[in-house]
Amino acid sequence: MGLHLTVGAQKEPVLELVKRLRAVGWPLGTIKGTTGTEDILNAVASISPETVIVYRSLVTPSGMVDCPNASVDPVSEARIWIGGLQSYWRGIQADFYEIMNECQPPIAWLVPFALEAMRLAGAQGQCLLLFSFGSGSPEPELFDQLLPVYEYALQNPCLSGRYHGIALHEYGMGKSTLVSESGIYYGFRHRLLYAHVLPQLPSAILLPVYLTEAGPGDGRTPFKCEDVTRDVILYTQQLEYDPYIRGFHLWNLGPKSEWIDVTPCLPMIGDALVSYYSWRAR
């Protein structure tokens, strides 16, 4: 289980949970933050070095946009995109850098873009999380076309003993469904995708997959803390059956706007996680 932070997230509630989980011997698995959360991410890394830090800069060479330009040559665009992100990555020593957000370029374009992006980042000792497909996408058969990306990642570690990874987003089905109860097409779509990948490339199981956005409903509709907490525990438990899934980032901690803010739920989530891990340790 991990957390997703957006600009304006409160530092102290996050650090309180991080300290509490580390004290009981089950450090927070991962945390993701976007532009404006660097201070919190760096503090978490200092307190809990076991926690995997994921960072996505909202500012890109093309401004505040989520996606690279798929209308130009993919290799050239990767060089512009990754090269331009470097200055925004300097403020955070992340374990992984997520490079786009819910884009749907043609797969024939995405493959050479991803290959060049990995090459460039790997030369700098940086590990990427690729794809970041939105909830309910892509169609599983499209993953067959992405196998060259997996093969390159396996053959070219980004650091000694470390691989580039994959990012996916998974939410509940509709506004009122918990992600843990949303079925194979939404909350567990990764199982459909990997049913295509693993028979063809069994070693793909070694590449880390992070659900860099995951949560109940549509990410906008508020839920009671009791429901969010139940969702976190159920999802944590169910994802343990998927060894390539290394963590999920619970959406979202940040000021209420169009998105939900689960910051008030963190004490209850902490209680539930301590109880869950204590039960597992028996």
How far apart are the C-alpha atoms of 14 and 143, rounded to whole Å?
Answer: 35
pLDDT digits 0-9 by tens, 171-197: 998 899 999 999 999 999 999 999 999
**Angle 266-280/225-239 helices, nearest 10 degrees?**
30
pLDDT digits 0-9 by tens, 103-136: 999 999 999 999 999 999 999 999 999 999 999 9
pLDDT digits 0-9 by tens, 206-262: 999 999 999 999 999 999 999 999 999 999 999 999 999 999 999 999 997 889 999
* Dihedral angle computed from the Cα positions of residues 86, 92, 97 and 102, in that order, rounded to the nearest 10 degrees: -90
Joined tokens for residue 169:
């987003």
Amino acid at 160: S
What CATH number is given for 2-280 in this structure? 3.20.20
How far apart are the C-alpha atoms of 62 and 237, rounded to whole Å?
Answer: 40
Q: Where are the domains of the chain?
A: 2-280
How far apart are the C-alpha atoms of 140 and 142, rounded to whole Å?
Answer: 5
Burial 208-245 (b: 16+ CB within 10 A, else e): bbbbbbbbbbbbeeebeeeebbbbbbebbeebeeeebb
